[in-house]
Amino acid sequence: MINPGINRFCDVAVVGGGPAGLAAAVYLSRFLRSVLLFDAGDGRAELIPKTHNCPGFPDGVSGKDLLARLRAQAMAYGTEIVAAGVKSLTARPGAFVLATTTGHVHASRVVLATGVVDRAPAMHGLRKAIAAGIVRLCPVCDAYEVQGQRIAVVGPERSALKEALYLRHYSRDICIICNYPEDVSGSTRAKAGAAGIAVRDFVDDLVPRNSGLDLVMADGSTERIDVLYAAMGCDVRSELAMEVGAHCDEDGYILIGPHAQTSIEGVYAVGDVAKALNQIAVGFGQAALASTHIHNAMLAERAGSRCEKEPEAHHQSPNPRPGG
């Protein structure tokens, strides 16, 4: 990684060092574009103990291993990785200016791969529980691995029920944790009951064990479960997009077009920060689309610039014939 204390220009600045941002850097570097990738080192992919639905890894791959491979691949093609976050993004004539913690960078194009931050329950040893696969955050990613297990879902009423119903396809032993039973509607309880999903009221504590997790009830009794899913939503890191004027939805996800371009020309969004399915494979696809669109647009700009400088170049003969 290079020193973040820089003031320089690059073709493309990628903000975010997760799978999508690194994939974009790989593509862009192979297009012979100068790429600076800013990595604050706090991405959610680092927490993945092992994913089994990332194509090309039949035995699964940890988030740390996947990121290490992607970093090595990007740097091998010339990407420069800056260990710093980006504080602000400003559009200027002909370029975008990114203010980092110690310097400024001017870029022709920007790829935002800033991701999201998962909301998780307050509990002792949360990161260790996530690393052990006891607390999970994405049923689309790993529900296959918890087939037939005792599963609890914690979160607001609607999202918890929705996730529990999704997980019901994989297990018959599902419960929803509800600390505020007065806020749970009769309709939600009826839908849960009809699907064979229990509602646990007044869970005082969540205690990770070597295998599974204990739900500690208000009366002191405990219930052992195998896996806890947090259906608490996430905070979208779209502040830079909003700062530059890109359109976002009501939850903060950046709206993108077919080539992952935002409503601001020259600014792209890939990965979990974009309005789409939050999956590594989706982020890879968006990165490929954005990078190719950026490269082709810059080629077209260069060709147009040449034509403007030499408007008669294609109409003059280098060796006119005498008397012609």
pLDDT tens-digit readout, 152-196 = 999 998 999 999 999 999 999 999 998 676 778 899 999 999 999
Q: Cα(222)–Cα(209) distance, rounded to whole angstroms?
A: 12
Q: What pLDDT, on the 0 to 100 scale, is given for residue 101? A: 82
Instruction: Tell me the CATH number for domain 120-230.
Output: 3.50.50.60
Q: Cα(314)–Cα(16) distance, rounded to whole angstroms?
A: 44
pTM: 0.90
Whether 1 has a pLDDT exceeding 60, the answer reads no
Average pLDDT over residues 294-320: 68
DSSP string covering 158-215: HHHHHHHHHHTTT-S-EEEEES-GGGS-HHHHHHHHHTTEEEEE-EEEEEE-SSSEEE
What are the φ and ψ backbone dihedral angles of 32, each rounded to 5 degrees? 65, 35
Percent helix, percent strand, percent coil in the chain, to nearest 5: 35, 25, 40
Superfamily of domain 7-117+234-309: FAD/NAD(P)-binding domain (3.50.50.60)
Q: Which amino acid is at 168?
A: R
pLDDT tens-digit readout, 194-244 = 999 999 988 889 999 988 999 998 889 999 999 999 999 999 999 999 999
- Interacting residues of 199 by C-beta distance below 8 A, sequence separation 6+: 175, 176, 178, 181, 184, 188, 189, 192, 193
H or E stretch at 151: strand 151-154
Q: What pLDDT, on the 0 to 100 scale, is given for residue 5? A: 52
For the chain, how many residues are written? 324
Average pLDDT over residues 36-45: 94
**Helix and strand element counts for the chain (H, E):** 8, 17
Q: Cα(129)–Cα(92) distance, rounded to whole angstroms?
A: 45
Q: Tell which residue, 236, 41, 225, 273, has the closest CA to residue 123.
A: 225
Whether 31 has a pLDDT exceeding 50, the answer reads yes
* DSSP bridge partners of 213: 208, 225
Average pLDDT over residues 110-118: 98
Q: What pLDDT, on the 0 to 100 scale, is given for residue 324? A: 41
Q: Cα(274)–Cα(287) distance, rounded to whole angstroms?
A: 11
Q: Residue 315 — pLDDT band, cuts 50, 70, 90?
A: very low
Q: Where in the chain is the domain with CATH 3.50.50.60?
A: 7-117+234-309, 120-230
Q: Residue 7 — pLDDT band, cuts 50, 70, 90?
A: confident
Sign of CA dihedral 153, 46, 140, 253: positive
Q: Residue 322 — pLDDT band, cuts 50, 70, 90?
A: very low
Q: What pLDDT, on the 0 to 100 scale, is given for residue 307? A: 61
Residue 217, Ramachandran bin (φ over 0: left; ψ between -120 and 50: alpha; else beta)? beta
Q: What pLDDT, on the 0 to 100 scale, is given for residue 84? A: 93
